[in-house]
Structure 1
Amino acid sequence: MLKSLFSGVSGLQSHQVAMDVESNNIANVNTVGFKYSRANFSDLLAQTKAIATAPQGQLGGKNPVQVGLGSTVSSMTRIFSQGSVQNSDKNTDVAIQGDGFYIVSPDGGNTYKYTRAGDFKFDAAGNFVDNNGFITQGWLRDPVTGKVDSTAPITDINIPPGLTTPAFASQEVVVKANLNSGPIVESMSPAYEVKSGSTNIQPAAVDANGNAIEAGNIGVMFNEVGEAFSIQENQGVWASFRNSEVVAGAVVANTALDMDFNVDPELGIAGNTVNVTAAAGATPAETANNYVAAINAKSSTTGVTASVDAAQVITLTNTNADASASHNIDFVVNTGSGIATASSVTAHRYQYNKTSAANTLGGDKTFTTTADLRKWLEDEARNQGGATNGITVAVNEQGKFEIQNPNSGVDDYDMNLKITAYTDKRTGTVVTENTRFTRNMEALNSVLPQASGGTAYSQSFNVATHSSSIDVFDSLGSKHTLRMEFRKTELDTSTGSTWDMLVTVPPPATIDTTAPLDEKRGSVRFNNDGSLATYNPPNISFSGNNGSAPDQQINLSFGTANAFDGMTSFDSRSATSGISQDGYTGGDLVGIRIDQSGTLVGSFSNGRSFGLAQIGMAKFTNNEGLSTEGGNIFIQTANSGDPIIGTAATAGRGFIQAAALEASNVDLSRALTQLIIIQRGFQANGKTITTSDQLLQTLIGLKQ
């Protein structure tokens, strides 16, 4: 009978413990980061009244006869299920979504404690602390590298009040841009030259700021509306400054002979020799007229006309007025005509050639750049007069060829400017007309009388351009505008294109060691698939000349060779899609936020943001083995395992959500239901005791 009383008592004791546990759960229903517990019941040793026996022959086996002696609470289990995450208005609140614990220390890192409660704040000394005043552990920013090294040992997180960041000199400029490779561009600049004294033959060009650059390659230039000339080898124009004339040095002979002349074979005319036969008994005047008639009969083909005066002196003229004519006539057999043997009447060809050859006065010319073409036009214009004529040819600031006939020399002459298209129909050397280039040059066609001061202009020649600029910083934090200008200069159908690059900074800053010191030249070359091939220079040596550190090396990062991760050259609009640099001026700390990795990111008054520290997190093999100390604190035990320390969202550790707190995981509906169960269990055990008491009372009554 007494055993039933003791069983009831043990049941009451066990349920009392369970009641204590559940009451504690309910009491912490609003405790941040709290994890509820449950009491685990187990029975006590049983009294064995009969042991079990095995089957014997025809007699079956018997089970043991045992009487239990009650119950006890053998263990407590803490449930580490995820609590709900609730947003807060405090940016230093953090919640863990997933496994892991924050690490705090009450003694500067000598001992560690662990918590799920992320209600952190900064104290007066800048320590990042919890509500117990324990300092949160993690990693601090290395002032040398500027990085937070999460592989180093953890330490107290401390961000001094009034933190400032010193200026950081720019070390890299990163550019991602496309330079238009197509036949039509929107971004372009005139190609023009620097005048050099009175001769004006300096083969250089300048940019929009008046800075000298290399003369532009006409092969990659554009007209006024952005259409590419796309000029090919040997394409060009006929150009003349006055009528080309040959006046016979003598009259037609009294006894004239036959005369032959050749039409220039560029027209591909079969049998291009023209024979003029002298009539028997004809007078010199009649023979001269025969010569003139024969030559003029071919004028539509040759572009050359002939006339004869009263003294039987023949004059041959080429006005370069007909683009479809040959422009040339060569006399090879002319005995008695008065015309010198092997004389010719010709205009002059100006043909594009990538390897512009040496040119001579009075002959055909080749050109590559605007500087070449300007020089040869001027040389030939002056060659038409005497040594002192003042005719000038320039390329002005609008990229237009400008021809002027001033009143500056005794050898000036009346200019009759004629530009016509050049073609060549000979088999194997067919050259078609370049319509856009011709149209640009034909605008020069005009009459400029001697000493008139008249000026003729072509249409403008333009170069595809693009520019980008960004502010860089010196060691004092002063800003300097770094400008990069790109101009298309070369095109190779097999390898790709090349763009010149001009990097400039405003004085007194310098980026080069040779004058001009405030600019540096280079180039960017692209493959024929638009990817970056190479670029130069890879860096600049910048000096602010304002007291800042000199020779500041700034790397220019335009992308990876043969890749499309930086600068490209596709048939699309020139545009800069990204440009950045890593320098900044000094600034004061104005705010802190925490990201999902637990990094405390500081925002400074200079507009920069970077990680100042990172919260460390610990993970245990057995969370249930941790021991609680109160104040939302857990400590390591022999059965929890050692902490595995690392960053949030790595190696099974949960990520951190800022401006939020993890609520208690106590479920009130479950807890209140459990209270009823515990209450009924307690009541039932109480009934066990009262019933056993009544039985004992009956037993005692037997004595009476």
Structure 2
Amino acid sequence: MLKSLFAGVSGLQSHQVAMDVESNNIANVNTVGYKYSRANFSDLLAQTRAIATAPQGELGGKNPVQVGLGATVSSMTRIFSQGSVQNSDKNTDVAIQGDGFFIISPDGGNTYKYTRAGDFKFDAGGNFVDNNGFIVQGWLRDRATGFVDATAPITNINIPPGLTTPASPTQHVVIKANLNSGPLVKTYSPAYEVKSYPTGTPLPNPEAIDENGNPIDSGNMGVLFNDSGEAFNLQTGQGIWASFTPTKTAATAGVAAGAVELDITLELDDGTLKQITTNGGLAGNTAADNAARYVSAINAQTSVTGIIATYSGGFINLANSNSDINASHNIRINAVGNANSGLVVGDSATTAYRYQYDPTGAVTVAGGDKKFTTIADLREALENQARAVGNLDADATPDENNIEIKINAQGKFELSNPGGSQDGDYDINLSITGMNANSITGGGITENTKFTRNMEALNATLPAGSTGKAFSQSFNAATHSASIDIFDSLGSKHTLRTEFRKVAVDASTGSSWNMKISVPEPATIDSVAPYNEKTGFVRFNSDGSLATFNPPNVSFTANNGSAANQQVAIKLGTSNSFDGMTSFDSKSATSGISQDGFTGGDLVGIRIDQSGTLIGSFSNGRSFGLAQIGMAKFTNNEGLSTEGGNVYVQTANSGDPIIGTAATAGRGFMQAAALEASNVDLSLALTQLIIIQRGYQANGKTITTSDQLLQTLIGLKQ
């Protein structure tokens, strides 16, 4: 009978413990990071009244007869399910989403404790602490490398108050941009200036002089554009005719009278022959009659030959104005069938010169068939022609004149005829016309009308010694520029500007652009003048990807007391890739430009990312990791022992902590400006209270019932 009393007592005791556990859960329903516990019941040893017996013959086996001796709380289970994450208004609050614990230390890192409560703050000394004053453990930024090394041992997280960051000089500039490869561009600049030089002055080879007198690539004419941004797209063989004086010749003897005929053969520019004849001459014709017939016959073919005949003073005069693209531009008498016309084989005067684009041939600036590649080639050839037209001395060399042709700041050919009382001075009557297959030897050449229109604007009559000038239309190069501020070792800013100019196209390999990198004076990036500029190139493959570029870096000296010869790498992308500079048929535009330098600054704010990195924001606009919160993971979270204050400690059954960064190796990630709420389910806890209450009451009934039975037993004796 006493056993039932003791069983009831053990039940009361066990339910009282369960009540204590559940009451504690309810009490911590609003405790940050709290994990609720559960009391686990088990029965006590039973009294065996009869042991179990095995089957014997015809009798079956019997089960043991045992009487239980009550219940006890055998263990407590802490449930580490995820609590809800609630946003807060405090940047240093941190919640863990997933498995893991914050590591804190009460003694500067000698011993560790663990918590899920991320209500952290900075104390007066810059220590990152919890509400107990325990310092959060993690990794600090290495000043030498500028990075947080999460493989090093953990230490106290401390961000000194008033933290500042020193200036960091720029080490690299990254540019990502597209340079327009199409026939129509929106951004362009005038061709480089090219000066005129006095006769006899040695010229650079090739002649290409910028406004500072430095040799540069003056610009391949095949990749230049007009004022509307339209590409000329000059092809091999295309070009212009130019003549600075009318082409003239005259008969060497007067026209004969009588029944004589005209029979001459003219050689045209394309090598074909044109025979001009007359008939029906009468014996009574005067010289003027015959001349009129000759002039009429010659002028009937002007649309083909370009030659206009006139009769004056007893002689026939031939002139070619060079104004018709389809006509010949020279006067070449190949054969004369009747000498009475006064014209003889070989009579000719100044020949109009031909210019044509031939990027594969040698550049020539002398002779009757000039080939040019750059705008400087064409300028020099035109000027040489203009200076060679003047009067000839007895030595058959041209006399000096002061005619000048230059490329001005607007990218225009500028013609002037200032004179100077030299024998070679003459009145310029410049005529420029287009070129096609009808006017040169060889077929397949079509007129480049855009190029012709640009050059025809130069046509003018300029008397010797006049102050007037003639100008072509502008020649422009496709350009693009980008700028970014870089920093020296003192944190001073300097604008680094990159300018790109299209200079060449190759059908098989792609395009080439000049690159000029410049900084404001007195800073320098080159060892030759101008010291604040450095030139290079960028080349692209035929698919628009980057082929190569130069220079890969510049040596920057600010000349303001900062460190000299600061090496700044220029990063334009990977060769044969599209991760940097490209050249497609689309608008030139910079899609990205960056550099890694910065000036000094003060810490103005801290935020925490999902990896637990404390990122500092500074007054200089820079942000970088200052520290990273460590996280521990255990094999058996339930084996941890609580010490109060939302703190756990390691036990023999929890396993050793596995320390690392958030969101790695099974550890959860961290959410800043948030706290993990208690995982106590209040509705479940209240339900448990009812169950525990009923269990407690039932065990009480066991005791009272046993007592009544004892009273009955005692009453039997009475």
Q: CA deviation at 1:342?
A: 3.1
Aligned to 1:328: 330
Does the CA contact (< 8 Å) of 2:170 and 2:568 recur in 1?
Answer: yes
Q: CA deviation at 1:429?
A: 3.2
- CA displacement, residues 334-357 of structure 1 (integer Å, 9 cap, x when unaligned): 484655643446422121121463
SS in structure 1 of the partner of residue 535 of structure 2: strand
* Greater displacement, 272-281 / 131-140: 272-281
Aligned to 1:42: 42
CA distance in 1, matches of 2:336, 2:132: 119
Aligned to 2:403: 391
Aligned to 1:143: 143
Q: State how 1:663-702 maps to structure 2 within 5 Å.
A: 663-702=677-716
Does the CA contact (< 8 Å) of 2:363 and 2:377 recur in 1?
Answer: no
Does the CA contact (< 8 Å) of 2:38 and 2:77 recur in 1?
Answer: yes
Which residues of structure 2 form unaligned runs of 5+?
Answer: 392-398
Q: State how 1:486-505 maps to structure 2 within 5 Å.
A: 486-505=500-519
Aligned to 1:375: 380
State whether structure 2 residue 182 is matched by structure 1 residue 182: yes
CA distance in 2, matches of 1:339, 1:510: 69
CA distance in 1, matches of 2:564, 2:192: 35
CA distance in 1, matches of 2:253, 2:599: 86
SS in structure 2 of the partner of residue 572 of structure 1: coil
Which residue identity does 1:493 align to in structure 2?
A
Aligned to 2:431: 418
Does the CA contact (< 8 Å) of 2:269 and 2:329 recur in 1?
Answer: no
CA distance in 1, matches of 2:113, 2:47: 45
Aligned to 1:525: 539
Equivalent of 2:368 in 363, 372, 377 = 363
Which residue identity does 2:157 align to in structure 1?
I
Which residue identity does 1:670 align to in structure 2?
L
User: TM-score, normalization: structure 1?
Assistant: 0.94
State whether structure 2 residue 306 is matched by structure 1 residue 303: yes
Aligned to 1:318: 320
CA distance in 2, matches of 1:359, 1:368: 9
Q: Are the structure 2 counterparts of residues 358 and 499 from structure 1 closer, same or farther at C-alpha, using a change threshold of 3 Å? A: closer
CA distance in 2, matches of 1:118, 1:103: 10
Does the CA contact (< 8 Å) of 1:260 and 1:276 recur in 2?
Answer: no
Aligned to 2:59: 59
Which residue identity does 2:239 align to in structure 1?
G
Aligned to 1:401: 413
State whether structure 2 residue 249 is matched by structure 1 residue 246: yes
- CA displacement, residues 280-315 of structure 1 (integer Å, 9 cap, x when unaligned): 978877776665454333221011123343344x43
SS in structure 2 of the partner of residue 569 of structure 1: coil
CA distance in 2, matches of 1:243, 1:459: 23
Q: CA deviation at 1:645?
A: 1.1
Q: Are the structure 2 counterparts of residues 643 and 343 from structure 1 closer, same or farther at C-alpha, using a change threshold of 3 Å? A: farther
- CA displacement, residues 660-700 of structure 1 (integer Å, 9 cap, x when unaligned): 11111111111111111111111111111111011111101
Which residues of structure 1 form unaligned runs of 5+?
Answer: none
CA distance in 1, matches of 2:642, 2:241: 99
State whether structure 2 residue 593 is matched by structure 1 residue 579: yes
CA distance in 1, matches of 2:427, 2:546: 52
Q: CA deviation at 1:262?
A: 3.5
Does the CA contact (< 8 Å) of 1:259 and 1:277 recur in 2?
Answer: no
Q: CA deviation at 1:324?
A: 1.9
Equivalent of 1:477 in 482, 487, 491 = 491
CA distance in 1, matches of 2:617, 2:146: 14
Q: Are the structure 2 counterparts of residues 689 and 29 from structure 1 closer, same or farther at C-alpha, using a change threshold of 3 Å? A: same
Aligned to 1:262: 266
- CA displacement, residues 609-635 of structure 1 (integer Å, 9 cap, x when unaligned): 000000011111111111111111111
Does the CA contact (< 8 Å) of 1:113 and 1:635 recur in 2?
Answer: yes
Does the CA contact (< 8 Å) of 2:194 and 2:218 recur in 1?
Answer: no
Does the CA contact (< 8 Å) of 2:335 and 2:344 recur in 1?
Answer: no
CA distance in 2, matches of 1:205, 1:193: 7
CA distance in 2, matches of 1:46, 1:154: 53
Q: CA deviation at 1:600?
A: 0.3
Which residue identity does 1:303 align to in structure 2?
G
Aligned to 1:91: 91
SS in structure 2 of the partner of residue 3 of structure 1: helix
SS in structure 2 of the partner of residue 637 of structure 1: coil
- CA displacement, residues 468-505 of structure 1 (integer Å, 9 cap, x when unaligned): 00000001111110000000001111111011000000
CA distance in 2, matches of 1:273, 1:63: 141
CA distance in 2, matches of 1:390, 1:596: 77
Equivalent of 1:231 in 224, 230, 234 = 234
Aligned to 2:357: 352
How many residue pairs match? The answer is 700
* Greater displacement, 634-643 / 254-263: 254-263
Q: Percent identity?
A: 70
Q: CA deviation at 1:408?
A: 3.5
SS in structure 2 of the partner of residue 214 of structure 1: coil
Q: State how 1:594-605 maps to structure 2 within 5 Å.
A: 594-605=608-619
Aligned to 1:629: 643
Which residue identity does 1:110 align to in structure 2?
N
- CA displacement, residues 55-108 of structure 1 (integer Å, 9 cap, x when unaligned): 333322222211111001011000001111111111111000111101111222
Aligned to 1:447: 461
* Greater displacement, 640-649 / 476-485: 640-649
Which residue identity does 1:57 align to in structure 2?
G
Does the CA contact (< 8 Å) of 1:510 and 1:542 recur in 2?
Answer: yes
Does the CA contact (< 8 Å) of 1:193 and 1:371 recur in 2?
Answer: no
CA distance in 1, matches of 2:547, 2:197: 40
SS in structure 1 of the partner of residue 23 of structure 2: helix
CA distance in 2, matches of 1:210, 1:55: 121
Q: CA deviation at 1:318?
A: 0.9
Q: Are the structure 2 counterparts of residues 625 and 343 from structure 1 closer, same or farther at C-alpha, using a change threshold of 3 Å? A: farther
* Greater displacement, 347-356 / 584-593: 347-356
Q: State how 1:75-90 maps to structure 2 within 5 Å.
A: 75-90=75-90
CA distance in 1, matches of 2:635, 2:606: 33
CA distance in 2, matches of 1:449, 1:196: 19
CA distance in 1, matches of 2:344, 2:488: 75
CA distance in 1, matches of 2:344, 2:390: 22
Aligned to 2:395: none
CA distance in 1, matches of 2:303, 2:157: 94
Does the CA contact (< 8 Å) of 2:101 and 2:633 recur in 1?
Answer: yes
User: TM-score, normalization: structure 2?
Assistant: 0.92
SS in structure 1 of the partner of residue 332 of structure 2: strand
Aligned to 1:551: 565
Q: Are the structure 2 counterparts of residues 383 and 180 from structure 1 closer, same or farther at C-alpha, using a change threshold of 3 Å? A: same
CA distance in 2, matches of 1:364, 1:455: 26
Aligned to 1:28: 28
SS in structure 2 of the partner of residue 204 of structure 1: coil
CA distance in 1, matches of 2:615, 2:363: 66
SS in structure 2 of the partner of residue 324 of structure 1: coil
Aligned to 2:223: 220
Q: Are the structure 2 counterparts of residues 697 and 427 from structure 1 closer, same or farther at C-alpha, using a change threshold of 3 Å? A: farther
SS in structure 2 of the partner of residue 690 of structure 1: helix
